[in-house]
Structure 1
């Protein structure tokens, strides 16, 4: 398949790019920095494009089977998560291709006996002011996507600790924050990438969000 990966030089995006290429897909890696894109390993099926995702047109998107939004932002620009989701959806209303895949945060997952949103736990962190805008805006992004019924989209959230690392055995869920038998809630970027490519190759979820964690 022809895949466009937005934010291909970030932690999630670079893992997605490597995994997609390993599986034989044609990948266009999009990022704002030509220098960072040049650091991606060369591959016959890889094309790099230094471009602002907000300048993508419907004509640009129509070249692909799947568009993956793995954009990362600093907290001061966390609103861009919502803005890019709305732009991509607006461009593809009443279409079934390309499929849109969104890498969401863990803050929108539910946890605890009362099923409260995990973002509310994050808001209690003494250091929250430095980062909380990102999970808050990723929650808003999901809430927007949940209103969309005429675009083929899917979202995927990691566990509480999302970090770089290889793919490991995983467990999937829906809206609950996942914790393994050792009490750890973590997702490696490689684990996330495998879950995304599995979903792309054999779709199981449509117009919904699911979650993946290291087993």
Structure 2
């Protein structure tokens, strides 16, 4: 497959690049900083460097999959860009089946025994400094669920999302997943592997799934 990754140099994006290349897919890194991408990936990927909102349909030509893995700076309170970029990509590919659009969402929109995880996050001391991002990702999922004429997929990590290698995993749909020790955790490597598994053997259309380390 030909896979484009917006935000390829971030923790999620770089893990996706590594996993995709390890499976012999062709990767286009869509990034803001070309030098950083070159230092990470050398000549293993095609690099297109632009502001996220400057990418156009021609930049995505020929891709089978386009993954929006960008993370906007929480400290600058630009989390609304998360939703704006999703809306731009959806608008760009209305009435099409290709590329498949994949949106990396937060865990805040997942259900828990007490309701939505976002409701618990809002009550966390100091949440004002970072709550913009999970709020925007929650809104992003709500927006995507109104879209019926684009081939989209949403993916949410577990509550604790850590940088680390891939492991076996458990996949769910809209409920926050916990292991036997009531731990909700997934590594970047596991998260990337679960996404590539879904891309190689599609089973979800216009819906979201979540994953945790097994």
Taking structure 2 as the reference length, the TM-score comes to 0.96
* 1:89 aligned residue: 90
* 2:179 aligned residue: 180
Aligned partners of 1:47 and 1:61: how far apart in 2? 12
Aligned partners of 2:16 and 2:43: how far apart in 1? 14
Aligned 8 A contact 1:62 1:97 in 2:
no
1:163: how far off?
Answer: 1.4
1:43: how far off?
Answer: 4.7
Which whole-Å deviations, capped at 9, do the CAs of 1:19-57 have from their partners, x for residues lacking one?
00000000011111123212213354x112211121122
* 1:58 aligned residue: 57
Aligned length: 212
* 1:107 aligned residue: 108
1:140: how far off?
Answer: 0.3
Q: Give the alignment's Cα RMSD to 1 decimal.
A: 1.0
Aligned partners of 1:39 and 1:161: how far apart in 2? 28
Q: What secondary structure is seen at the aligned counterpart in 1 of 2:41?
A: coil
Aligned partners of 1:22 and 1:96: how far apart in 2? 26
* 1:77 aligned residue: 78
Q: Which runs of 5+ in 1 are unaligned?
A: none
Taking structure 1 as the reference length, the TM-score comes to 0.96
* 1:10 aligned residue: 10
1:188: how far off?
Answer: 0.4
1:157: how far off?
Answer: 0.3
Q: Which runs of 5+ in 2 are unaligned?
A: none
Aligned partners of 1:61 and 1:99: how far apart in 2? 11
* 2:121 aligned residue: 122
